[in-house]
Structure 1
């Protein structure tokens, strides 16, 4: 059995593979959604960071403003220098700072502390806060000493309760006993507000994620709607080939995409008109040329020939024969464009192969061998497939040395609906180069690696035989291929035809009791 390993693919298979790669390379919708996702993510991220910085900055400005306001209020109080309870001047610095501190209602986030050389003055409620939070600055002697000795009048300190904005004002009290110097500290605990900011940012992040998901959904729907005309155009273009220009794109609206679709339809109209003209011209020319060629050849056969005229008339007769074959091939290619070019019907493959074996024997000077015979019925046009296989056989005979063995065969490949029938001819010629293999089934193309013994036969062809083979295969919904044999030089030319497996028939057995052929027992 011959192992078929395709080395090069036909032009049609390359085109289909390229189309598949293009289709997998990406979607315009995905690119639109991806760019929308990136842009929206950038905007949302920038917005969240901007709002976070603004809120944190507001917290700092609020703390500074509150500290400055408290210090300004104390300066006015110290400038008056009168105890509100006795309406008399303060006698000690402790009385002044204690009177001011006890009159403040600072709450949880603020603390006012009076510092004298011998005493720390604070509200008793601050001790309750210290028990709750585990820390209050009036209990931190080291930090109080540092703030008292700090040359700056304001700043931010990191504490176990978080960052603290502080402001400091020095105060002097002159009495008869002398001058006493102290300080008033105003503290703003901003960690609660920072926690509120973080909570707000956390909410914004979740809202941003939800908004991003909604944006992706909306952008996908919008991109789908925008690219729908482009997808329709691509689908129509995929079904357009050299035999079918009937597809048209539905045009809606008056935008740029609609204009592109309208232009595409006009292009298809021109291509269809040009193709119909070409087909009609090919058909008419082929018909018109066959008659005068036949008449000329008939008159040449009736002419009396002298020895001097014999060589010239033989040359003319050979050229007329070649022209007749070219015209016949052109007529076949013209007919291949018609929907009734092939008329499939159930055909037994084994009988087709036996018939082919008897017909290829006409190509003398070669040994013809049947390698494999597939058995089963396939829906195909027996005459057209025979024509294609005989063309492959003639091609193999032209390129193979005289007396060499040429093999034909068939086999089923695949299962179920994907099953195919492969028919092939293996020659012993010089082989096919990759450059020739890619274009060998196109019209007016011939293999450059000729057999010198059959050079005259090569020159008689026009390079339409393999194009006819491809047209017949494609009309059946199949394709053509070239493979390299594993057991020596040469090439394998073949065609693949769809041959789905017939559904398996199930048998049902109906049992009766008692059996009708046995008498009932009484």
Structure 2
């Protein structure tokens, strides 16, 4: 607002200065035109040299001056004066605006000045003048016609007008400043509300929200700010939950190891061997949890997935060969995608193996686990389907969350992990801008599909390249 008022002040000062200069220049131009007109009229009158009423010629310059000056009706700021050859004054009618005829030093300076036009400084102001010398028939000086204009009187009127303009502009500037202060305060009140809300927000309290009113830009800003707070609250909540769950998951194996070490009997080899086995298992589980946590932390990085062109036939065959090592199950290869895909083969293999591992946990030896891949114009899909107990409807969304195992009642031999497997699969899918799909009927198995979208026109470019090569 201060810059706006300063800009307005500069504009007003510029307008005032330019206006005054234009008015003064116009007044001076009018004065010069009036002087030239009077001088030209006298020249024409003197050139004729004949009295139009009697038809007789004027006898001398004095008679000429008296006759011409007596006929003049001038403005208040104009002065007409005649000086005869012997120094006598022929004044104008009425009262002069500036006493020129009564002061010898003034008219004498004009007569003695070799120039025909100039400006005479006086205590009453500047006097712009023009003189016309008169000569007789023999060429001798016979008098001087002087016409002058008191320009300062016009300038003083201009200054009075400018003074009024300055006063009105100053009042207008003050009114504008006050109005700008009030209006800007009303306009920026929502912004100040956002600022105050932001100042009250801390990592312990993210519940502050801004009331959204209207449909203008400020309302849109408030709505976006509230959305940002929602995301921050969700992120901080997830972070706190993650830390709580991680600390709990790591605390459990540590407690088990400590308890077994405290009660181990040194003189019993079998008990020591059992304790060592239990401790090793718990350490292995801790190691897997830490590795999974590190992997999930890496999933937030932009280079988590490095997509490149991969042959889908070879990738599907390699994954199927690795799945048979996960457990004694009947591994069936349902379908093999043909062609190429743009994806990270290592991450996709990791995700599919994790899905297959979950399928092994929830099935018995000899049960069927189906694996396959397919490709369309828009995406590549990998899936793992089992004949286990399936997923309860209330667990369909929860199992994808960190440290969530859903209902463990369906897991064979009570095999339970840290609850990070499906979270890692989801992170890998989202790293490819894809998603994980679950199809299940409780008691009749589950099918997990990894959908990986492909760039628009990718397969058309592949086909065109193959045709060109052929």
Name the TM tier (shorter chain).
0.5 to 0.7
Residue in 2 that maps onto 1:453: none
Assess if the C-alpha contact under 8 Å between 2:100 and 2:107 holds in 1: yes
- Pick from 107, 123, 140 the counterpart of residue 103 of structure 2: 140
Larger Rg: 2
Match status 1:185 vs 2:185: no
| Cα distance change of structure 1 residues 295 and 180 upon mapping to structure 2, 3 Å threshold | closer
Assess if the C-alpha contact under 8 Å between 1:174 and 1:180 holds in 2: no
- How far did residue 191 of structure 1 move? 2.0
Residue in 1 that maps onto 2:416: none
Aligned residue runs from structure 1 range 233-312, under 5 A: 233-252=194-213, 257-305=218-266
Aligned residue runs from structure 1 range 442-521, under 5 A: none
Residue in 1 that maps onto 2:191: 230
- How far did residue 151 of structure 1 move? 2.6
Residue in 1 that maps onto 2:72: 104
Higher normalized contact order (CA 8 Å, seq sep 6+, divided by chain length):
1
Aligned length: 275
Aligned residue runs from structure 1 range 72-471, under 5 A: 72-118=40-86, 119-123=88-92, 125-126=94-95, 129=96, 136-174=99-137, 179-252=140-213, 257-305=218-266
Assess if the C-alpha contact under 8 Å between 1:113 and 1:186 holds in 2: yes
Residue in 2 that maps onto 1:64: 32
- How far did residue 301 of structure 1 move? 2.7
Match status 1:54 vs 2:17: no
| Cα distance change of structure 1 residues 263 and 110 upon mapping to structure 2, 3 Å threshold | same
TM-score (norm 2): 0.53
Which of 188-197 and 274-283 deviates more?
Answer: 274-283
- Structure 1's unaligned 5+ residue stretches are 1-32, 324-522
Partner secondary structure for residue 42 of structure 1: helix
User: 1:334-384: per-residue Cα shift (whole Å, max 9, x none)?
Assistant: xxxxxxxxxxxxxxxxxxxxxxxxxxxxxxxxxxxxxxxxxxxxxxxxxxx
The RMSD of aligned alpha carbons is 3.0
- How far did residue 306 of structure 1 move? 5.4
User: 1:173-232: per-residue Cα shift (whole Å, max 9, x none)?
Assistant: 328xx8553221001112221111111111111111111101211222332233223212
- How far did residue 162 of structure 1 move? 0.4
- Structure 2's unaligned 5+ residue stretches are 287-470
TM-score (norm 1): 0.48
| Cα distance change of structure 1 residues 147 and 307 upon mapping to structure 2, 3 Å threshold | farther
Q: Distance in 2 between matches of 1:255 and 1:181?
A: 86
| Cα distance change of structure 1 residues 297 and 113 upon mapping to structure 2, 3 Å threshold | same
